[in-house]
Amino acid sequence: MKTEFSLAQLADPDIQEADKILRACVHCGFCTATCPTYVLLGDELDSPRGRIYLIKQMLEKDEKPTADVVKHIDRCLSCLACMTTCPSGVNYMHLVDQARVRVERDYSRPLVERALRKVLSLVLPRPDLFRYSMWLARLGRPFADLLPSPGPGSVSPTLFSRIKAMLALAPRHLPPPGPAPGSVFPAEGERRGRVALMQGCAQQVLAPRINQAAINVLTRHGIEVVLVKDEQCCGALTHHMGDDHDALARARANVAAWGREAEQGGLDAILMTTSGCGTVVKDYGYLLREDRDCAAAAAQISRLAKDVSEYLAGIELKPSGRMGDVKVAYHAACSLQHGQKITLAPKELLSKTGFVVKDVPESHLCCGSAGTYNILQPELAGRLRDRKVANIASVEPDMIAAGNIGCMVQIASGTSVPVVHTIELLDWATGGPRPALN
Ligand code: SF4
Ligand code: SF4
């Protein structure tokens, strides 16, 4: 694609990067077929190619984005299915991330929407605040049905539809908190490795059992696990809302905290059980590339970052041989399959430990969770969830496994089939407890 940035614009490293990405696009349109919003809406401007054009114009003209441009960028899930499909290697992720920062900087959203986004970016990355907000949501839940719904077929979110979506996603019960930051879990038997396990923010409130399962599996197989003190939210939530100031501050804090731990105790890897976090931590090296004080350390942290399934694929697991014929539908989280290109490891681990693994039709399509998407775009997210749940039901599973808490909550809100994390099944299959089912 031909671009027309001025020399002055190209002096900005972000514009240089955008120019490189835009020039790689040959506007073939292959990506449209796998884009969830294009599949649902059939509008070119809700496809990757259409959005690339909109972003190109916005950056080249250096004008404030219009409400229409913002609408189509907001509807993008950042699922990155387009990157998997693109034959030209277009890095849509870095382009749309830049566009979101530009939108937040130059576009004035309606006051109510600004307030809602502010609340989400304040609450979601802070486990204590998030816990209180879940208690409040439980109180508000019985009143959700009194709120007006948008007209049938509408895909335009309203404040009420967003509040309804938030209340619907709040769990009925909250488990007690998991182990404290700074805890160390020694390896059983001879120590074969040492890893940091990222504690996550929403996940540690909603389902601390997931990281407990990871600790069980890792220590059982000779790996010492540390929960690093001073670790923060990875920054993914605010990054995807265009608040790079907050996201980069969190990234720097994590690079420092994990770097200290690696120096003092040694780390073979930094593991994530939430693939949405993993995709962003693996990108710290890029995000902080212009920060002279932090770039090299950030790149090193990105090299150490691994999804828990990716790490376990290099270890011989010892199954207890008692799984029988439990049929598991494996839901591939977008951040794992498109963001990190990890497609086989989770399924192979489940098969090797005795589960019957079923692929889900249209597995490339997002479930609609996508960070805060199911709150900010509840109508589109609901349609994607229903489609995902119907596809999962077609393989008649006993359980659904996923590697990302956002997907687990989203899918569980539309099905009675138990939804668990892949690591919970691996724990069960190697001698741990049966997962606590929803
Ligand atoms: S598939 Fe890639 S090259 Fe083709 S239009 Fe989409 S982004 Fe551009
Ligand atoms: S990230 Fe997902 S929703 Fe956004 S353009 Fe690409 S395929 Fe479509």
**pLDDT tens across the length of the chain (438 residues):** 999 999 999 999 999 999 999 999 999 999 999 999 999 999 999 999 999 999 999 999 998 999 999 999 999 999 999 999 999 999 999 999 999 999 999 999 999 999 999 999 999 999 999 999 998 888 888 887 778 777 777 788 888 899 988 888 888 888 999 999 999 999 999 999 999 999 999 999 999 999 999 999 999 999 999 999 999 999 999 999 999 999 999 999 999 999 999 999 999 999 999 999 999 999 999 999 999 999 999 999 999 999 999 999 999 998 887 677 899 999 999 999 999 999 999 999 999 999 999 999 999 999 999 999 999 999 999 999 999 999 999 999 999 999 999 999 999 999 999 999 999 999 999 999 998 765
- pTM comes to 0.94
228 and 258 housed in the same domain: yes
User: Which pLDDT belongs to residue 138?
Assistant: 84
Domain boundary among 54, 81, 106: 106
Contact 422, 349 (CB under 8 A): yes
User: Which pLDDT belongs to residue 405?
Assistant: 96
Domain that holds residue 203: 184-312
Domain boundary among 169, 197, 217: 169
Q: How far is the CA of 84 from the centre of ligand 1 (A)?
A: 10
Taking the mean position of all CA atoms in its chain, how far away is CA 217? Answer: 23
> Residues 335, 338, 341, CA angle at the centre, nearest 5°?
100
Nearest CA to ligand 2 atom 8: 35
54 and 158 housed in the same domain: no
Beta partners for 329?
A: 358, 400
Domain boundary among 143, 169, 195: 169
> Residues 236, 238, 243, CA angle at the centre, nearest 5°?
130
Regarding the beta carbon of 339 and ligand 2, being less than 6 Å apart is answered no
d(CA 1, CA 86): 14
- Token look-up 């890893």 returns 195
Q: Ligand 1, closest atom to CA 49? A: 5
66 and 138 housed in the same domain: no
One-letter amino acid identity for 82? C
Taking the mean position of all CA atoms in its chain, how far away is CA 51? Answer: 21
> In the structure encoding, which two tokens stand for residue 319, read together?
């199954």
Side-chain half-sphere exposure of 102, counting CA atoms within 13 A: 25
> In the structure encoding, which two tokens stand for residue 385, read together?
């969830």
> In the structure encoding, which two tokens stand for residue 74, read together?
């907001």
- Token look-up 């816990």 returns 131
> Of 367, 363, 365, which Cα lies nearest the Cα of 347?
363
> In the structure encoding, which two tokens stand for residue 161, read together?
């539809």
Nearest CA to ligand 1 atom 6: 31
Nearest CA to ligand 1 atom 1: 86
Is 197 in a helix, a strand, or coil? strand
Q: 145 burial class (0-12, 13-18, 19+ CB within 10 angstroms)?
A: exposed
Q: Assess if residue 261 is contained within a domain.
A: yes
β-strands 399-402, 269-272: how paired? unpaired
One-letter amino acid identity for 115? A
Q: Assess if residue 235 is contained within a domain.
A: yes
Q: Ligand 1, closest atom to CA 1? A: 8
Regarding the beta carbon of 377 and ligand 2, being less than 6 Å apart is answered no
User: Which pLDDT belongs to residue 152?
Assistant: 72
β-strands 269-272, 305-307: how paired? parallel
307 and 363 housed in the same domain: no
Phi (first) and psi of residue 110, to 5 degrees:
-55, 150
Regarding the beta carbon of 229 and ligand 1, being less than 6 Å apart is answered no
150 and 265 housed in the same domain: no
219 and 289 housed in the same domain: yes
Q: 85 burial class (0-12, 13-18, 19+ CB within 10 angstroms)?
A: middle
Contact 434, 428 (CB under 8 A): yes
Q: In total, how many domains does the chain have?
A: 4
Regarding the beta carbon of 51 and ligand 2, being less than 6 Å apart is answered yes
Is 265 in a helix, a strand, or coil? coil
Q: Assess if residue 322 is contained within a domain.
A: no
Beta partners for 226?
A: 184, 196
Q: 437 burial class (0-12, 13-18, 19+ CB within 10 angstroms)?
A: exposed
142 and 190 housed in the same domain: no
Sign of CA dihedral 259, 264, 268, 269: negative
189 and 307 housed in the same domain: yes
303 and 208 housed in the same domain: yes
Regarding the beta carbon of 25 and ligand 1, being less than 6 Å apart is answered yes
Sign of CA dihedral 396, 321, 345, 197: positive
> Of 331, 230, 315, 333, which Cα lies nearest the Cα of 277?
333
Q: Assess if residue 320 is contained within a domain.
A: no
244 and 282 housed in the same domain: yes
Q: Assess if residue 438 is contained within a domain.
A: no
Regarding the beta carbon of 39 and ligand 2, being less than 6 Å apart is answered no
92 and 147 housed in the same domain: no
DSSP class of residue 115? H
125 and 89 housed in the same domain: no
Q: Quick one: what percent of the chain has pLDDT higher than 90?
A: 88
Regarding the beta carbon of 273 and ligand 2, being less than 6 Å apart is answered no
Is 295 in a helix, a strand, or coil? helix
